[in-house]
Amino acid sequence: MAHALIKGETGEWEIVIGMEVHAQVIANSKLFSGASTQFGAEPNSQVSLVDAAMPGMLPVLNAHVVEQAVRTGLGLNSKINNRSVFARKNYFYADLPQGYQISQFEDPIVGLGKIEIDLPDGTTKEIGITRLHLEQDAGKSMHDQHPSKSFVDLNRSGCALMEIVSEPDIRGPEEAAAYLSKLRMILRYLGTCDGNMDEGSMRADVNVSVRRPGGELGTRAEIKNVNSVKAVQMAIDYEVQRQIEILEDGGKIVQETRLWDPSRNETRSMRGKEDAHDYRYFPDPDLLPLVISNDYIEDIRKTLPELPDEKKHRFMNNFGLSLYDSSVLIAERPRADYYEAVANDRDAKLAANWVINELLGALNKDDKHITQSPITAEQLGGLITLISDNTISGKIAKDVFAEMYSSGKDAATIVDEKGLKQVTDTGAIEAVIDEVIAENPDNVAAYKGGKDKLFGFFVGQTMKKTGGKANPGIVNEILRKKLND
């Protein structure tokens, strides 16, 4: 897509965005302790002595988390580093009892990679991944529990996060939304993060700047902790306008951290941007460098599922689906699996139409997920077989579908019970057509006199008399023969 440039008063501007996404790793226990990571537990019920930073406690690296990070790196087509180092990032927060966060700085576990994003205009684009590193989450301060006190919940303290950093390749709010959606989809396919932004298991820091098209990178502002795809788009829209106004008035952008305020739909300055040296990073003396072998990496690679983009391309190539249809179908793994079970040995395009337009439409109306579908994949497949072999017409199939959806019955059962089989008996159809012609002499005359449009009227009458069951192809053929004689 030729990305949208913004027209200002002094010329055009190009938007430049890079994202840092924090994704909570799916793991039963924390990055350096055995405490549980279960969401929604009583405050401070899942805090080990390590998480509370009691003196003398030592961190022990969670091997499963390392595996999850490697799996994610492979899913992001990234280089996995054989050696990485945990470092202390020092700062004070009331909900950070250690006084530092254990993170990775110069040597992250995952290096350069890329993902493909799908844009609304039906094109795709590659976005570079800079790195992925592991780090601890902080606890949570609660300021709204008591009129004069603040509380701290350390359940989240020490949970493993992956910070996934993108290159500044994103060129506007749509691309940012597509990037975040695709990233979330990949993590969910991999089973390394649940991607639930409303529970905070995935949060985005959005770096935004503007520049003259193709010019030098502008100074960026970083908008912290934006927690929905929609909010990311709105925050970018706001921030771009703010920066363009400042620049066009002859001002300068200050590099700083800003907050998105969803109640006022604006970003607000939070603090000046710290530089790395302000954190006084140094290798954590309690942890050895993490060394992993190529065999270890290859063993994990073998366990990777087919990822969204591979699936998307396979659906396009093997089933002849459009990019749009494929993108809809691969959006969630259960949805893709359902579709494949329906398409199995059947007309795959027809199957895609029925899954996308009819089934997803009906489920959406009822606020149901595909895993709760009252029609199984096998049942929907049965309906499609009946359409393909001309047992029923596409029009009757819609009624059968509605009945299947409400009753849970098989298509074949409903067709039998209601006598909906398509009439393909040429003799029977011919008899009905003779009736229609006999009953409408005026229209026959008008048609023969040149009113071609009346052909549809005769088709309609014939279908009506057969209760919609006559095979439309045969009806057309016989009518044409009789009327054009």
Quick one: 145 exposed, middle or buried, by C-beta within 10 A (0-12, 13-18, 19+)?
exposed
Residue type for position 366: D
Q: Which H or E element spans position 324?
A: helix 323-330
Which option in Mg ion, ligand ADP, none does residue 165 bind, with CB closer than 5 to 8 A by kind?
ligand ADP
**8 A C-beta contact, residue 57 and residue 97:** no
Give the closest residue to 307 by CA, choosing from 188, 197, 193, 201. Answer: 188
In the complex with ligand ADP, the residue whose CB is nearer, 97 or 172, is: 172
What is the smallest separation between the CB atom of 128 and ligand ADP, expressed in angstroms? 8
Helix (H, G, I), strand (E, B) or coil at 264: coil
φ and ψ at residue 62, rounded to 5 degrees: -85, 110
What is the smallest separation between the CB atom of 289 and ligand ADP, expressed in angstroms? 21
**8 A C-beta contact, residue 13 and residue 210:** yes
Quick one: 95 exposed, middle or buried, by C-beta within 10 A (0-12, 13-18, 19+)?
middle
What is the smallest separation between the CB atom of 166 and ligand ADP, expressed in angstroms? 5
What is the smallest separation between the CB atom of 30 and ligand ADP, expressed in angstroms? 23
In the complex with Mg ion, the residue whose CB is nearer, 20 or 194, is: 20
What is the smallest separation between the CB atom of 257 and Mg ion, expressed in angstroms? 8
Which option in Mg ion, ligand ADP, none does residue 386 bind, with CB closer than 5 to 8 A by kind?
none
What is the smallest separation between the CB atom of 163 and ligand ADP, expressed in angstroms? 9
In the complex with ligand ADP, the residue whose CB is nearer, 209 or 227, is: 209
Sign of CA dihedral 455, 461, 465, 471: positive
In the complex with Mg ion, the residue whose CB is nearer, 27 or 87, is: 87
In the complex with ligand ADP, the residue whose CB is nearer, 166 or 326, is: 166
In the complex with ligand ADP, the residue whose CB is nearer, 114 or 314, is: 114
Q: Which residue is nearest to ligand ADP (CB)?
A: 18
Mention every residue, 6+ apart, whose C-beta is less than 8 A from residue 283: 85, 86, 87, 88, 289
φ and ψ at residue 336, rounded to 5 degrees: -65, -40
Sign of CA dihedral 238, 240, 243, 247: negative
Which option in ligand ADP, Mg ion, none does residue 19 bind, with CB closer than 5 to 8 A by kind?
ligand ADP
Which option in ligand ADP, Mg ion, none does residue 17 bind, with CB closer than 5 to 8 A by kind?
ligand ADP
Distance CA 97, CA 253 (A): 34
What is the smallest separation between the CB atom of 219 and ligand ADP, expressed in angstroms? 7
> What's the token pair of residue 304?
């990777």
In the complex with ligand ADP, the residue whose CB is nearer, 117 or 397, is: 117
User: What's 332's DSSP letter?
Assistant: S
Instruction: Tell me the CA distances in angstroms from 282 to 62, 266, 404, one per residue in order.
Output: 21, 36, 63
> What's the token pair of residue 115?
């993902």
- What are the residues binding ligand ADP (CB under 6 A)? 16-20, 165-168, 207-209, 217-218, 220, 222
Which option in Mg ion, ligand ADP, none does residue 54 bind, with CB closer than 5 to 8 A by kind?
none
What is the smallest separation between the CB atom of 62 and ligand ADP, expressed in angstroms? 24
Q: Which residue is nearest to Mg ion (CB)?
A: 20
**8 A C-beta contact, residue 460 and residue 423:** no
In the complex with ligand ADP, the residue whose CB is nearer, 210 or 330, is: 210
Per-residue interface string for the shown chain with Mg ion, residues 10-49, x marking contact by CB under 5 A: ----------x-----------------------------
Site residue total, Mg ion (CB under 5 A): 1
What is the smallest separation between the CB atom of 276 and ligand ADP, expressed in angstroms? 7
Distance CA 89, CA 103 (A): 7
In the complex with ligand ADP, the residue whose CB is nearer, 114 or 421, is: 114
Which option in ligand ADP, Mg ion, none does residue 85 bind, with CB closer than 5 to 8 A by kind?
none
In the complex with ligand ADP, the residue whose CB is nearer, 62 or 84, is: 84
What is the smallest separation between the CB atom of 189 and Mg ion, expressed in angstroms? 26
User: What would you measure as the largest C-alpha separation in the chain, in angstroms?
Assistant: 101
What is the smallest separation between the CB atom of 207 and ligand ADP, expressed in angstroms? 3
Distance CA 218, CA 237 (A): 16
Bridge partners (DSSP) of residue 16 are 209
In the complex with ligand ADP, the residue whose CB is nearer, 173 or 381, is: 173
**8 A C-beta contact, residue 124 and residue 117:** yes
Which option in Mg ion, ligand ADP, none does residue 209 bind, with CB closer than 5 to 8 A by kind?
ligand ADP
Distance CA 73, CA 307 (A): 13
Distance CA 232, CA 230 (A): 5
Site for Mg ion in 263-292 (CB under 5 A): none
Which option in ligand ADP, Mg ion, none does residue 217 bind, with CB closer than 5 to 8 A by kind?
ligand ADP
Q: Which residue has the tokens 């009789």?
A: 482
Which residues of the chain form contacts with Mg ion (CB under 5 A)? 20
